[in-house]
Structure 1
Amino acid sequence: MRHVSILALHEATMTSIDSSQQLLNRANDFLKYQKKAGFYTVEIVGAEKNIKLNQGLYTISVNKTIDEVKKTDVIIIPLLCGNFSKAIQENKKYCDWVISQYYNGAEIVCLCVGSFFLASTGLLKNKKCAIHWAAKDEFKAMFSDVNLVDDKIITDESGIYTCAGGYSYLNLLLYLIEKHLGKEMSILASKMFEIDIERKSQNPFIIFIGQKKHTDKEVLCAQEFIENSPANIFTVEDICSKFSVGRRTFERRFKKCTGNSIVEYIQRVKVEFAKTQLESDRKSINEIIYEVGYNNIDAFRKVFKRYTDLSPIDYRKRFIRR
């Protein structure tokens, strides 16, 4: 048996709390159908008996307060919404309890941007953490000592599990069930809740937004130039010449400010432009590839798949707007 504490954090979303208890309790039902004992004792736990969630939109009554739970086996940290810095401050009273339970053997299952709270406890220091692509830059600015992973939706390290993407936390819950009860039970849960168990990456869903929260004016101008010219063909030398800067120094500055090399930035802008074209069925795939400045179709397909995990044709099949 595993005792599960789903934390009712201030600024948490009701859906992530409810989905967690629904999935784990349903796993117990599956075991009972097989004439086996239930595995999870699931409780919603809070700092007070009644907690306001989702910026005050909901109020939840918890099963127990953290003072009443002396020992738990699994802690589930739900999604947070709104201002992350504010949410961290409002939930400081949970920190000591979470840290104590972890060092007493509890696993921590962190859903999406609930990782902002978890990182504030210090338990993610030098550990891997997946994060939603839209929150990556803000997270890195606040917690530079965390090993951020943005190419997978699940991380598993030292009894701490994290996930990226809004509802990909459902995949993390399936992963937890598989760890505890085996693949067969995880597959059964995925079928009953109709969750795509094979999701491994958030790359197909990422919308590339260049990092511009820096003060290097020449880098900002270069970013805008690249973004305003997705169909043009130019080299790194062309950009450095346009802004009258030395290549080696400027490439170093560009990478430091944006997290991408100049070549990577150009590629990502072209891929993002191609994605918007692929979502319409007005042009053929080859027309779109030529339009973004590639004469070598195979070369562009490789670049496209590197950033999306999909070929152009598979991307169109998944996201086309009819």
Structure 2
Amino acid sequence: MAPFGIRVAFAVYEGVWASTLYPAADVLQSVNLRQLTGTFSWNIVTPTEQSVVSYSGQRMTGDATMMDSGRYDWVVLPHFWGDFDRALEVHPQVAHWLQRQYQSGALIASVNSGAFWAAQAGLLQGRRATAYWRHIPALKQQFPNVEWLEQQGLVEDAGLYTSNGQNAGMDLAMHLVERVCGAEMASDLARDITFDSRRDYDLTLFNMAGFRHHRDDNIHHVQNWLDKHFAETVSFRALADNAGMSKSTFLRRFERATGEKPTRYLQRLRVEAAKHRLINSDDNIKAISINVGYRDFSYFSKIFKVITNLSPKRFRERYRPR
């Protein structure tokens, strides 16, 4: 096989739900066929050379093992069924392998209970994450140093992605495709593959995940505040004071961490919120403008077009599910 650009590892362990693994692989293959080039390659990676038994009873053999020295760009942790303490006994290799992959620069993405493995590896300590609501109590008890967001379908924090179910897992795959191939490719795939593309959770914060691939915790805290208050009047001097910095230091550190000036970041956050509402609601566009923090509709339209290359009206016409 010819060399590929992005190497993806699908971790497979006892009780894995194949339905949270193969759809993502199909998405990556769809990209390869549309691009007419090897954008992605992927391996099924098992803890050892022994095969594992999936939730549905299939015996699954890996292309590689966690004992190998291979490095991946993305690691996907599918949902599994069973007691996690028992899973740890059976697969003691997983946590160390995840630590090694993350330290080497891999993005770690979990579907539902796959978050147990990321938390066990210590990767989520002091960070935000999500999982299916039934698992949240156990996760809170076992990993109290993680901020578990029960109502959020998708969460990203410092290159660690978590999702709360199969639909969210598909959105996760689409988001990762968008990072590499752009919004148009991801949108085209979504229309062809995920016909029920309206979600009852908001993808705004998840779509801003690319600006969180840094390790500056003070700036993460500022971003957390903006996630909740972006529609309000924002004082960057007050944010700097709360972060214990001068305004000039804050502006410099924010841009160094995120790659964007705070004002531009706030604009992007508001536009992402508007995009979600344009696709998933019937709200009037002027009302959407006000709800995301813009009283001046013409200014909102100008900023929206600068960031998306489309007017709000054209964006809704193009991307709203038909």
TM-score by length of 1: 0.58
2:67 match:
67
- How far off its partner does 1:90 sit? 2.2
Matches within 5 A, 1:36-185: 37-55=37-55, 57-185=57-185
- How far off its partner does 1:49 sit? 3.4
Contact 1:171 1:195 in 2 (8 A): no
- How far off its partner does 1:128 sit? 0.8
Are residues 184 and 50 of structure 1, via their aligned partners in 2, closer, same or farther at CA, if it must alter by over 3 Å? farther
- How far off its partner does 1:69 sit? 4.3
Contact 1:80 1:87 in 2 (8 A): no
Matches within 5 A, 1:234-313: none
1:15 match:
19
Contact 2:46 2:52 in 1 (8 A): no
Task: Identify unmatched segments of 5+ residues in structure 1.
Answer: 203-322
Task: Identify unmatched segments of 5+ residues in structure 2.
Answer: 203-322
2:288 match:
none
Contact 1:170 1:195 in 2 (8 A): no
Separation in structure 2 between the aligned mates of residue 57 and residue 174 of structure 1, nearest angstrom: 28
Separation in structure 2 between the aligned mates of residue 47 and residue 15 of structure 1, nearest angstrom: 20
Deviates more, 1:180-189 or 1:116-125: 180-189
- How far off its partner does 1:99 sit? 0.4
Separation in structure 2 between the aligned mates of residue 71 and residue 6 of structure 1, nearest angstrom: 13
TM-score by length of 2: 0.58
Separation in structure 1 between the aligned mates of residue 145 and residue 137 of structure 2, nearest angstrom: 13
Are residues 195 and 168 of structure 1, via their aligned partners in 2, closer, same or farther at CA, if it must alter by over 3 Å? farther
Contact 2:15 2:53 in 1 (8 A): yes
1:26 match:
30
Please tell me whether Structure 1 or Structure 2 has the larger radius of gyration of its CA atoms: 1
Separation in structure 2 between the aligned mates of residue 119 and residue 74 of structure 1, nearest angstrom: 17
Per-residue deviation, residues 38-66 of structure 1 (Å, max 9, x unmatched): 21111111123342233571111211122
Q: Tell me the percent identity.
A: 20
Contact 1:154 1:200 in 2 (8 A): no
The 3-state SS of whatever aligns with 2:21 is helix
Q: Which runs of 4+ in 1 moved over 4 A?
A: none
1:279 match:
none
Contact 1:112 1:162 in 2 (8 A): yes
Per-residue deviation, residues 114-139 of structure 1 (Å, max 9, x unmatched): 10121111111111111111221121
Per-residue deviation, residues 189-237 of structure 1 (Å, max 9, x unmatched): 21221254442629xxxxxxxxxxxxxxxxxxxxxxxxxxxxxxxxxxx
